[in-house]
């Protein structure tokens, strides 16, 4: 461990950065990652972090929000926002930044609901809501960030059909509510929606792969297909007509990238699945695990190894990997994972990973041309 030094209210632990990259840690004041995991958003080399802080009775009524510039390694802002009081584990459903970079949205979808808008420049609260745009029949609910017009976006599955709702950030009124009513397929393991492109991808029933649809459920003609037979593990809608999908079983897997109407794939000695909301169509994060070659009742569902991967989507290719155990918390059948975020600027990338020690581990790595 190297020398300890403070920058603003954050601490760098053992910084070993050089021209070839390095690793350091950002302290999260008053964080308790056994009760609440941090959510992050990035833009222009600045990472925004939001998490609940707790007292010794495991109660929380405050949201800590930090802005940190990765190039200068300085804290820009630190704000404390009042939240409804809760006790014990609390699931965060995400932090997102608007397309124009002016607003942040922090969301907790479990009761008591909190949808909070902040100004990104000073981290001050603009407005909040305690209501969600869902009814009793909406399942698999998800906060999906902002669309291209800075509208707050949510998705769900309503009566076996994907549903996409957008809220006006000025007053939280519904600006659009679209159900994929033209979709004939009723069973799917995931929905990979990109609110900015107004498209989503679904795993298909007739091939090992996925298809792109409009929000109304009409196929666009774009098809991503795996060469082989493996199970779907998830997907990310990168942009219009573009996606990356993950496949695997036991101790082997594959990643397929669909760009320019063409499929390219890479084989892996592990089972990959996507992590987090994607802000960069060129690079995505994934966790890749292996399981024993055995039945679940004989320990086949146990994880033998686990790695964090950074995947360049164009080839695709793995450009960085690190042994890593995914942190997670659960409450009332809800799950939050400590997902990393990627920040790319010029020829460098910063990979920020929440861990169980109330810190963010930051890996700074050079990108080869």
Strand partners, 81: 63
Return the H-helix or E-strand segment holding 265. strand 262-268
Range scoring the smallest mean pLDDT among 28-37, 90-99, 326-335: 326-335
At residue 293 the predicted structure's pLDDT band, cuts being 50, 70 and 90, is: low
Domain ranges of the chain: 203-326
Burial class (CB within 10 angstroms; exposed 0-12, middle 13-18, buried 19+) of 58: middle
Residue 240 has pLDDT above 60, yes or no: yes
Instruction: Tell me how far apart the alpha carbons of residues 130 and 134 are, in angstroms, rounded to a whole number.
Output: 12
Q: Whole-number mean pLDDT of the chain?
A: 88
Residue 103, φ and ψ in degrees, nearest 5? -125, 150
CA distances from 261 to 208, 243, 244 (A): 17, 10, 12
Strand partners, 333: none
Contact 100, 281 (CB under 8 A): no
Residue 299 has pLDDT above 60, yes or no: no
Share of the chain above pLDDT 70, in %: 89
| Averaged pLDDT, 297-322 | 80
Which of 27-31, 60-64, 203-207, 357-361 is most confident?
A: 60-64
Long-range CB contacts (within 8 A, 24+) of 105-111: 105/143, 105/145, 105/146, 105/152, 105/169, 106/39, 106/50, 106/63, 106/65, 106/81, 107/143, 108/83, 109/141, 109/143, 110/331, 110/332, 110/334
Q: What is the pLDDT of residue 294?
A: 47
Which pair of structure tokens corresponds to residue 287?
């966790």
Residue 228, φ and ψ in degrees, nearest 5? 140, -175
Burial class (CB within 10 angstroms; exposed 0-12, middle 13-18, buried 19+) of 114: buried
Burial class (CB within 10 angstroms; exposed 0-12, middle 13-18, buried 19+) of 62: middle
Contact 231, 209 (CB under 8 A): no
Q: What is the pLDDT of residue 303?
A: 60
Residue 11 has pLDDT above 50, yes or no: no
Instruction: Give per-residue pLDDT as tens, 150-204.
Output: 999 999 999 999 999 999 999 999 999 999 999 999 999 999 999 999 999 999 9
Share of the chain above pLDDT 90, in %: 67
Q: What is the pLDDT of residue 250?
A: 76
Question: Of the candidates 210, 107, 125, 211, which has an alpha carbon nearest to the alpha carbon of residue 165?
Answer: 107
Contact 192, 201 (CB under 8 A): yes
Q: What is the pLDDT of residue 278?
A: 64
Degrees (nearest 5) of the Cα angle 186, 191, 192?
Answer: 150
| Averaged pLDDT, 113-131 | 97
Please name the residue that has the structure tokens 């990310």. 236
Range scoring the smallest mean pLDDT among 11-20, 33-42, 91-100, 285-294: 11-20
Q: What is the pLDDT of residue 285?
A: 93
Task: Identify the residue with better confidence: 314 or 124.
Answer: 124
Degrees (nearest 5) of the Cα angle 75, 80, 84?
Answer: 150
């Amino acid at each position: 461990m190297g020398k300890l030094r403070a920058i603003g209210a954050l601490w760098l632990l053992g910084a070993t950065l050089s021209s070839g990259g390095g690793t350091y840690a950002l302290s999260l004041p008053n964080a308790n990652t056994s009760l609440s995991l941090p959510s992050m958003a990035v833009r222009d080399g600045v990472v925004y972090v939001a998490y609940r802080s707790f007292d010794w009775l495991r109660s929380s009524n405050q949201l800590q929000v930090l802005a940190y510039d990765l190039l200068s390694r300085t804290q820009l802002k630190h704000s404390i926002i009042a939240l409804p009081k809760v006790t014990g584990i609390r699931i965060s459903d995400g932090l997102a930044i608007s397309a124009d970079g002016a607003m942040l949205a922090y969301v907790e979808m479990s009761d008591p609901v909190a949808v909070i808008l902040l100004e990104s420049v000073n981290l001050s609260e603009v407005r909040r809501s305690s209501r969600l745009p869902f009814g009793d029949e909406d399942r698999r609910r998800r906060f999906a960030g902002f669309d291209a017009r800075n509208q707050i976006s949510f998705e769900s599955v309503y009566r076996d059909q994907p549903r996409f709702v957008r809220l006006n950030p000025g007053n939280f009124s519904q600006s659009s509510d679209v159900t994929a009513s033209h979709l004939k397929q009723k069973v799917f393991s995931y929905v990979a929606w990109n609110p900015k492109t107004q498209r989503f991808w679904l795993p298909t029933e007739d091939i090992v792969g996925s298809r792109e649809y409009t929000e109304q459920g009409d196929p666009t003609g774009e098809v991503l297909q795996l060469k082989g037979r493996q199970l779907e593990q998830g997907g990310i809608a990168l942009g219009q007509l573009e996606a990356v999908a993950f496949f695997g079983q036991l101790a082997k897997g594959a990643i397929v990238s669909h760009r320019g109407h063409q499929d390219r794939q890479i084989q892996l000695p592990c089972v990959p699945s996507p992590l987090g909301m994607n802000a960069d169509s060129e690079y995505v994060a994934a966790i890749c695990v292996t399981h024993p070659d055995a039945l679940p009742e004989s320990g086949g569902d146990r994880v033998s190894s686990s790695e964090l991967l950074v995947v360049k989507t164009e080839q695709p290719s793995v450009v960085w990997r690190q042994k890593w155990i995914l942190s997670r918390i659960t409450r009332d059948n809800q799950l939050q994972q400590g997902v990393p975020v990627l920040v790319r600027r010029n020829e460098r990338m910063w990979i920020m990973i929440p861990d169980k020690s109330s810190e963010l581990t930051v890996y700074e790595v050079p990108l080869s041309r």
